[in-house]
């Protein structure tokens, strides 16, 4: 046993002597990774402890799975899981939109107009979440918002969309479309640029019209990319955009807008008596589900597209 250990040690020593410059270089970023990623991973143990700040991480007493049980048994549990999944699935539902936009941009024949459309549709991607939610609030303000006035003109009813729990998932998703549809289309636009022109020419000779050619040539060409991105997005199914959800939350829409990440923040950091252990346990649950999904999804991607992540 001891002999083997020595030999590993000796090997490491030899490697370090040989590549000492490379080791020095890489240890600079790696030390940050160790401090800011691996020490928190070590701290995850408080998910299984009754954490007392005065005792610290090490000396707080172990309590097994109590924090997890508390979470699973709380009345909030099913609600926030459903809310989180609702936003994720809604996101998947609209995932073909960037493909459609890319196809549309691809068939704008006027080069200048195409460029202009691209420029305009990418631009909102650079707007911050704070500003995005600020704009939503201004547009839908019950008294002064032009969108709200438009709805009033059409339906004759004054509705407070910002305070509506049923409207929240739609508002969240479609404002996201507004912000990033153009940007998400970029990858498909460049994929479409790789379609063989001869295929189209041959199809035209055979009398295929534009719709047929899009259906039989363009769509099969972008499909693998689409499927791959969709499958990979599954691993983030419990991850929602904290920054945006949190900003859009208010006491009236909380029924549908409380998701796992915002709940962790509230329970673990801003509550009157922050429950660090419970917050960490929920975070860990979230991470583990993500990890399991990633492994499953990676298998599927490997089978379907022959393109696994590792």
Partner 1 sequence: MISKHNTGISDKTVYFINYVLITIFTLIVLYPVIFVLSASFSDGNAVMHGKVWLYPVGFTTRGYEAIFKYSAIMTGYANSLYYMIVGTVLSVFMSALGAYPLSRKDFSGKKFFMILLLITMFFSGGLIPSYLLIKSLGLINTRWVMILPGLVSAYNIFVFRTYINNTIPLELFEASRMDGINDFQYLFRIVIPLSKPIMAVLALWHAVGSWNSYFTAMIYLRDRNLFPLQLFLREVLLQNVDIDVSMMDIEEVNERRQLQQLLRYSMIVAGSLPLMIAYPFIQKYFVKGVMVGSLKG
Question: Radius of gyration (Cα) for the chain, nearest Å?
Answer: 26
Report the nearest approach of partner 1 to the CB of residue 226 (Å).
12
| Window 16 to 55, contacts with partner 1 (CB under 8 A) | 18-19, 21-23, 25-26, 28-30, 32-33, 35-44, 46
Q: 258: left (phi > 0), else alpha (psi -120 to 50), else beta?
A: beta
Distance, CA of 44 to CA of 284 (rounded, Å): 7
Report the nearest approach of partner 1 to the CB of residue 165 (Å).
18
CB atoms within 10 A of CB 119: 10
Residues 63, 76: contact at Cβ < 8 Å?
no
Which of 76/104 has CB closer to partner 1? 104
Distance, CA of 46 to CA of 63 (rounded, Å): 9
Which range touches partner 1 (CB under 8 A), out of 58-66, 75-83, 84-92, 179-187? 179-187
Out of 91, 98, 145, 176, the residue judged to bind partner 1 by CB under 8 A: 145
Q: Is 105 in the site for partner 1 (CB under 8 A)?
A: yes
Report the nearest approach of partner 1 to the CB of residue 25 (Å).
5
Distance, CA of 41 to CA of 274 (rounded, Å): 20
Taking every pair of C-alpha atoms in the chain, what is the biggest distance, in angstroms? 85
| Window 189 to 218, contacts with partner 1 (CB under 8 A) | 190, 206-212
Q: Is 138 in the site for partner 1 (CB under 8 A)?
A: yes
Residues 294, 303: contact at Cβ < 8 Å?
no
| Window 61 to 100, contacts with partner 1 (CB under 8 A) | none
Which range touches partner 1 (CB under 8 A), out of 76-84, 88-96, 164-172, 281-289? 281-289
Q: Is 5 in the site for partner 1 (CB under 8 A)?
A: no
């Amino acid at each position: 046993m001891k002999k083997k250990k020595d030999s590993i040690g000796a090997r490491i020593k030899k490697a370090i002597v040989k590549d000492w410059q490379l080791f020095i270089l890489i240890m600079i970023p790696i030390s940050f990774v160790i401090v800011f990623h691996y020490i928190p991973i070590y701290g995850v143990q408080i998910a299984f402890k009754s954490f007392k700040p005065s005792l610290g991480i090490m000396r707080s007493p172990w309590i097994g799975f109590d924090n997890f049980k508390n979470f699973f048994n709380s009345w909030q549990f099913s609600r926030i899981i459903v809310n989180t999944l609702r936003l994720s699935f809604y996101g998947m539902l609209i995932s073909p939109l960037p493909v459609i936009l890319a196809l549309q941009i691809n068939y704008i024949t006027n080069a200048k107009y195409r460029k202009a459309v691209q420029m305009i549709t990418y631009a909102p991607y650079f707007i911050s979440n704070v500003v995005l939610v600020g704009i939503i609030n201004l547009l839908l303000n019950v008294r002064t918002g032009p969108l709200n006035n438009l709805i009033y003109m059409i339906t004759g009813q004054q509705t407070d969309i910002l305070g509506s729990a049923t409207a929240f998932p739609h508002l969240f998703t479609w404002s996201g479309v507004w912000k990033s549809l153009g940007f998400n289309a970029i990858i498909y636009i460049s994929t479409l640029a790789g379609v063989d022109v001869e295929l189209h020419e041959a199809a035209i000779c055979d009398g295929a019209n534009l719709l047929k050619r899009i259906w039989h040539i363009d769509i099969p060409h972008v499909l693998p990319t689409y499927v791959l991105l969709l499958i990979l997005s599954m691993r983030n199914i419990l991850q929602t955009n904290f920054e945006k959800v949190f900003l859009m939350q208010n006491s009236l829409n909380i029924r549908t807008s409380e998701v796992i990440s915002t709940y962790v923040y509230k329970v673990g950091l801003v509550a009157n008596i922050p429950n660090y252990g419970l917050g960490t346990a929920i975070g860990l649950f979230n991470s583990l589900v993500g990890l399991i999904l990633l492994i499953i999804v990676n298998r599927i991607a490997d089978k379907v597209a022959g393109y696994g992540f590792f």
